[in-house]
């Protein structure tokens, strides 16, 4: 019990007091620094994009892996967890190698007039990679639990395929999609290892919040780092809390 | 329709997971065995891999012990009201929500050389931040929920009747734990251990902040990969990454195996 308090609660209280130790004015000054502000906004914007991609792809993959039997299914199913098992720095390196300036795809994109690595698309790709398993793993158990007879009943009563999907299957998956998406979002907000390698970290352009915090720590400005940290922290807490509420509601039913 | 979905799934997997994985392998092999061997036998690589190994072992042991204890505590303790339990329950997930960089920052702020606790330890000749203890603490923070979250649902499911029966029949609490509780949570614990190993091996952000990334001293395998990339030494980064990737895949297979056993 003591271990729990010391390891988890104390550090978090510490960071809140640290960032407010200079009073509101200093806190406000470091948060409203244009670079810090831009970094936070950029992080939120790109995380939203990455989450959207993941929600769509994850729902589809979760569905396919549960419902269809095909060659290589169990292999793909175990591969889903790869981004969890793989160190994030290795994930970032992969993306860098694959899409970087000296690679095939990187050259091609460069000729077409847009760049991937050290620009926003690379950050989104890194975020999608890292948060890939969340939605899939949240949707799968719900689909497994679902009674196929509900779906069959819908067909028997003459509902079309798309109507069955929208009115019978989607509502079952929805709690999973939402909580999986929320987790993916909070993870994308927090991601550091994969992003720092591919983002280029140009202040005001591709510098995301966690890299900004790291930079502030390196340049001996713990006050600024702590202020941006609690912005991110508060956001993540809100998300986590929402997920908890959704889950306990589902359990309560 | 079915064909289309399956093909799409295959495409997503290939682009997002399989091609990058292959790329790491071919990248490391660009100069054959010799390139890999050279990159891996550099003193800093050997040291970094050893650091990672040490952190993994220490963190896994501590996290397993305390994780199981805390899970039992949170599920079984009758003297905690449901309100308190619920609060603690959501607190367990905190490290998931906290960015690893922030986790590292917290430890620096709390135990760094300029703080009260930090100077106290320093005076006792015991360095925390920019040394192994800080790195272990950071990794512990990050891996904390993995074990608790695996064991708690199993404990809740089996209920406390069997344990109560055992203690009514006169078994000591230690005996009850080994003979009654342990067999049922065993696979959950093993799964949690595998997750912890994977996460502590791969932890980067928190460790980078806490360790200061000093070569041959506090550098771990992941921070070495980062540094090699920053120095444009891609081949070396690739070789170290290959080792990490190979271990992760082995862990993934273990995870699948544990999951299957857990299901039975």
Average pLDDT over residues B154-158: 80
Q: Do B251 and A85 touch (CB under 8 A)?
A: yes
Torsion of CA B139, B140, B143, B146, to 10 degrees: 170
H-state helical runs in A100-221: 104-111, 120-145, 148-156, 161-164, 170-190, 193-198, 209-218
Looking at the domain assignment, is residue B21 inside a domain?
no
State both tokens at B98: 């906290």
Q: How far is B6 from chain A (nearest CA, A)?
A: 6
Tokens at residue B82, please? Answer: 């449901």
Express each pLDDT in B42-94 by its tens digit. Answer: 888 888 888 889 889 999 999 898 888 888 887 877 666 777 777 777 777 77
pLDDT band at residue B255 using 50, 70 and 90 as cut-offs: confident
Q: Is residue B11 part of a domain?
A: no
According to the model, what pLDDT value does residue A179 have?
83
**B102 interfacial to chain A (CB closer than 8 Å):** yes
Please tell me which of A1-10, A102-111, A244-253, B161-170 the model is most confident about, judged by mean pLDDT: B161-170
Cβ contact, residue pair B103, A11, below 8 Å? yes
Which pTM does this prediction carry?
A: 0.81
CB contact under 8 A, B98 and A12: yes
Residue B125 domain flag? yes
Residue B112: domain span: 42-263
Nearest CA in chain B to A1: B70
Residue, of B44 and B213, whose pLDDT is higher: B44
pLDDT in tens, A111-154: 776 666 677 888 888 888 888 888 888 888 888 887 778 777 88
Contact A63, A138 (CB under 8 A): no
With 80 as the cut, is the pLDDT of residue A89 above it? yes
Q: Which of A6-10, A243-247, B16-20 has the lowest mean pLDDT?
A: A6-10
Domain ranges in chain A? 29-252
Residue A253, SS3 per DSSP: coil
Q: Are B188 and B151 contacting, i.e. CB atoms less than 8 angstroms apart?
A: yes
Q: Which residues contact B22 (CB under 8 A, 6 or more apart)?
A: none
Per-residue DSSP letter, B213: -
Interface list for B 169-208 with A (CB within 8 A): 195, 198-199, 201-205, 208
Could you tell me the two tokens for B12? 């997503």
| Angle value at C-alpha B10, between B8 and B11, nearest 5 degrees | 65
Contact A87 B201 (CB under 8 A): yes
- The answer as to whether B88 is a domain residue is yes
Report the pLDDT value the prediction gives residue A52, as an integer from 0 to 100.
Answer: 92
Both tokens of B217, joined, read 């001293």
- The CATH code of the domain that includes B166 is 1.10.3720.10
What is the per-residue pLDDT for A2?
64
Domain-embedded: residue B173: yes
Show Cβ contacts of residue A195 under 8 Å, excluding neighbours closer than 6 positions.
Answer: A92, A123, A126, A127, A208, A210, A211
Question: CATH for A29-252?
Answer: 1.10.3720.10
Report the number of distinct structural domains present in chain B: 1
């Amino acid at each position: 019990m003591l271990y729990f308090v010391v390891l988890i609660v104390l550090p978090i209280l510490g960071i809140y007091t640290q960032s407010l130790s200079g009073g509101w004015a200093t806190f406000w000054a470091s948060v409203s620094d244009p670079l810090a502000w831009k970094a936070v906004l950029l992080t939120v914007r790109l995380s939203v994009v990455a989450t959207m991609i993941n929600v769509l792809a994850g729902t589809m993959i979760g569905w396919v892996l549960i419902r269809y039997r095909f060659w290589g299914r169990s292999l793909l199913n175990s591969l889903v967890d790869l981004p969890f098992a793989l160190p994030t720095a290795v994930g970032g390196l992969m993306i860098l190698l694959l899409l970087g300036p000296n690679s095939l795809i990187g050259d091609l994109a460069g000729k077409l007039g847009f760049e991937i690595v050290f620009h926003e698309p690379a950050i989104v790709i890194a975020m999608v990679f890292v948060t890939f398993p969340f939605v899939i793993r949240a949707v799968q158990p719900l689909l497994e639990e679902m009674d196929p007879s509900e779906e069959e009943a819908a067909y028997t009563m003459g509902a079309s395929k798309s109507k069955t999907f929208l009115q019978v299957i989607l509502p079952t998956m929805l709690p999973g999609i939402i909580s999986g998406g929320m987790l993916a979002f909070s993870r994308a907000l927090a991601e550091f290892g994969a992003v720092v390698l591919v983002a280029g970290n140009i202040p005001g352009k591709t510098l995301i919040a966690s890299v900004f915090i790291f930079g502030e720590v390196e340049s001996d400005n713990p006050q600024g780092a702590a202020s941006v940290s609690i912005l991110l922290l508060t956001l993540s807490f809100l998300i986590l809390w929402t997920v908890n509420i959704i889950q306990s509601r589902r359990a309560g039913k | 329709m079915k064909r289309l979905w399956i093909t799409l799934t295959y495409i997503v997997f290939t682009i997002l997971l399989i091609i990058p994985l292959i790329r790491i392998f071919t990248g490391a092999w660009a100069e054959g065995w010799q390139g890999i061997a050279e990159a891996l036998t550099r003193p800093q690589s050997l040291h970094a891999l050893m650091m990672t190994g040490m952190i993994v072992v220490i963190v896994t042991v501590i996290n397993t012990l305390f994780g199981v204890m805390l899970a039992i505590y949170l599920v079984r303790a009758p003297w905690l009201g449901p309100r308190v339990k619920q609060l603690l329950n959501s607190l367990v997930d905190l490290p998931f929500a906290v960015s690893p960089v922030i986790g590292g920052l917290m430890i620096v702020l709390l135990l760094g050389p300029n703080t009260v606790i930090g100077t106290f330890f320093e005076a006792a000749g015991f360095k925390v931040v920019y040394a192994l203890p800080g790195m272990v603490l950071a990794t512990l923070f990050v891996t904390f929920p993995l074990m608790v979250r695996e064991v708690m649902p199993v404990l809740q499911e089996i209920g406390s009747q069997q344990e109560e029966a055992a203690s009514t029949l006169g078994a000591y609490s230690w005996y009850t734990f080994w003979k009654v509780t342990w067999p049922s949570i065993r696979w959950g614990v093993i799964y949690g251990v595998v997750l912890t190993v994977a996460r502590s091996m791969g932890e980067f952000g928190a460790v980078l902040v806490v360790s200061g990334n000093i070569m041959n001293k506090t550098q771990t395998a992941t921070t070495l990969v980062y540094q090699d990339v920053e120095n444009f030494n891609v081949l070396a980064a690739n070789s170290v990454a290959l080792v990490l990737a190979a271990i992760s895949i082995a862990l993934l297979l273990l995870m699948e195996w544990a999951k299957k056993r857990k299901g039975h």
